[in-house]
């Protein structure tokens, strides 16, 4: 089976060898067991990269599936909880926290000498129902959030290396999101968010603190708003260390736009985190979509482009590239995008995809 795949890979690679595209990736389906491959992949992502390689993981998959757990351990050296460290998961009532899954994940990382990226302290989409219903005024609201940040960041002090303090504040185009309760409560929402960074810093002075959002490198308006916020934070001594762009992009995402935006983002001088990377292939959301070799190749090239671009950052601004998931078997996109979607680096059987090789080829 594998040698068949390999021959297919070589054929497709030959097909693509005729185009003079410098993002070209030679397809390799092999893993270590493939003795017939003259060009075996010898390094894992985490072995090659000089920065952290992360994955969003779920406790239940780590507990229930040995292959999943082994893949995480083999390829990655940082984890993010896919949902278990969000406010709605931890803050179960005004007087209770549920740390079961968060503790498990932090313990798993410690046992295996991995870093944890905390995601996320303040996100409009993950305010618990009880909190939204409580209808606090701005003073009471902020006091509660301060206690939450202090408790959670304090609990994992020294264990969670970095936090997305604030997630997704700006709408497409750069205006403040209007669906968040914070906008109706606070005259100056950015001021509130800045204080959230201060609360986190006070609870763990060594944690790296991030603002995280999506489409940052594509959406010039959103990026301008983020840069303005960062400038204000810097001017007022708000402790922000880095910016995350989620990178939920696709094989047809315009690469030049991506690069221009990435360079602009890097001009802030902050750490840059590619925080939730996955690359959609079924861009037309087609029910008859087939993820064939040509599609694999496109995806591999996109990954290669992204890691190559990331490596062009000054060394001091590199933080991590984290994929939003581990295997195509489990990806949020099958429910949030289309059931036929294959956005990650390992296939459903935990084999390395051409995308893995593309990612690896882009690393220095
Ligand atoms: C998603 C998770 O993957 C899903 O499992 C969950 O149900 C909803 O959230 N941006 C973010 C992430 O910052 O927290 C989101 O994660 C994906 C979009």
| CATH classification at residue 78 | 3.20.20.80
Cα distance between residue 338 and residue 282, in whole Å: 8
Name the pairing type of β-strands 115-123 and 162-167. parallel
Q: Is pLDDT above 80 for 139?
A: yes
**Interior/surface letters 55-74, b for 16+ CB within 10 angstroms, e for the rest:** bbbbbebbeebeebbebbee
Cα separation of 202 and 209, whole Å?
Answer: 11
Q: What is the pLDDT of residues 103-127, one digit of tens each?
A: 999 999 999 999 999 999 999 999 9
- Does residue 258 have a pLDDT over 70? yes
Is the beta carbon of 308 within 6 A of some atom in ligand 1? no
Same domain, 38 and 48: no
pLDDT surpasses 50 at 33: no
Q: Is the confidence at residue 29, as pLDDT, over 60?
A: no
Binned at pLDDT 50, 70 and 90, residue 37 comes out as low
Same domain, yes or no: 170 and 313: yes
What is the reported pLDDT for 222? 98
- Residue 9 and residue 140 in one domain: no
Q: What are the backbone dihedrals phi and psi of residue 76, each rounded to the nearest 5 degrees, phi first?
A: -120, 155
User: What is the model's pLDDT at position 186?
Assistant: 95
Residues 29 and 143 in one domain: no
- Mean of all residue pLDDT scores within the chain: 92
Return the pLDDT at 204: 99
- 82 Cβ closer than 6 Å to some ligand 1 atom: yes
Cα 187 to ligand 1 centre (Å): 28
Distance CA 151, CA 177 (A): 27
CA of 333 to the centre of ligand 1 (A): 9
On whether both 37 and 105 belong to a single domain, the answer is no
pLDDT per residue as tens digits for the range 305-328 = 999 999 999 999 999 999 999 999
Q: Which atom of ligand 1 is nearest to the CA of 164?
A: 13
Q: Which of 236, 140, 241 has the alpha carbon at shortest distance from 181?
A: 140
Q: Find out whether the beta carbon of 37 lies less than 6 Å from any atom of ligand 1.
A: no
pLDDT at 185 over 60: yes
Q: Is the CB of 83 under 6 A from ligand 1?
A: yes
Cis peptide before 225 (omega within 30 of 0): no
Length of the chain: 364
Q: What range defines the domain where residue 127 resides?
A: 44-362
Atom of ligand 1 nearest to the CA of 214: 10
Tell me the pTM: 0.91
The number of folded domains in the chain is 2
Active-site positions read 276
Does residue 48 have a pLDDT over 60? yes
């Amino acid at each position: 089976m594998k040698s068949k795949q390999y021959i297919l890979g070589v054929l497709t690679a030959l097909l693509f060898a005729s185009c003079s595209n410098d993002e070209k990736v030679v397809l390799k389906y092999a893993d270590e067991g493939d003795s017939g491959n003259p060009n075996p992949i010898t390094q894992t992502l985490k072995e090659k990269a000089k920065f952290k390689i992360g994955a969003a993981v779920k406790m239940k998959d780590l507990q229930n599936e040995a292959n999943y757990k082994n893949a995480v351990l083999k390829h990655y050296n940082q984890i993010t909880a896919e949902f278990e460290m969000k406010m709605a998961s931890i803050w179960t009532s005004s007087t209770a926290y549920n740390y079961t899954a968060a503790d498990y994940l932090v313990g798993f990382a410690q046992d295996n000498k991995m870093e944890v990226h905390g995601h996320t302290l303040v996100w409009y989409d993950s305010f618990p129902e009880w909190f939204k219903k409580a209808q606090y005024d701005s003073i009471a609201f902020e006091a509660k959030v301060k206690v939450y940040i202090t408790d959670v960041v304090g609990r994992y002090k020294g264990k969670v290396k970095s936090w997305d303090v604030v997630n997704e504040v700006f709408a497409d185009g750069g205006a403040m999101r209007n669906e968040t309760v914070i906008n109706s409560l606070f005259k100056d929402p950015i001021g509130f968010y800045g204080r959230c960074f201060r609360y986190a810093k006070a609870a763990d002075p060594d944690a790296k603190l991030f603002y995280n959002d999506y489409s940052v490198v594509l959406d010039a308006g959103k990026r301008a708003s983020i840069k303005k916020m960062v400038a204000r934070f810097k001017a007022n001594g708000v402790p922000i260390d880095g910016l995350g762009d989620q990178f939920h992009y696709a094989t047809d995402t315009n690469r030049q736009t991506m690069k221009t935006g990435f360079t602009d983002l890097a001009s802030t001088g902050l750490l840059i985190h590619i925080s939730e990377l996955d690359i959609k292939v079924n861009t037309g959301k087609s029910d008859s979509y087939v993820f064939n070799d040509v599609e694999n190749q496109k995806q591999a090239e996109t990954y290669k482009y992204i890691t190559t671009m990331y490596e062009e950052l000054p060394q001091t601004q590199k933080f991590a590239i984290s994929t939003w998931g581990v295997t195509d078997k489990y990806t949020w996109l099958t429910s949030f995008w289309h059931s036929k979607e294959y956005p990650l680096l390992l296939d459903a059987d935990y084999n390395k995809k051409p995308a893995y090789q593309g990612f690896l080829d882009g690393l220095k």
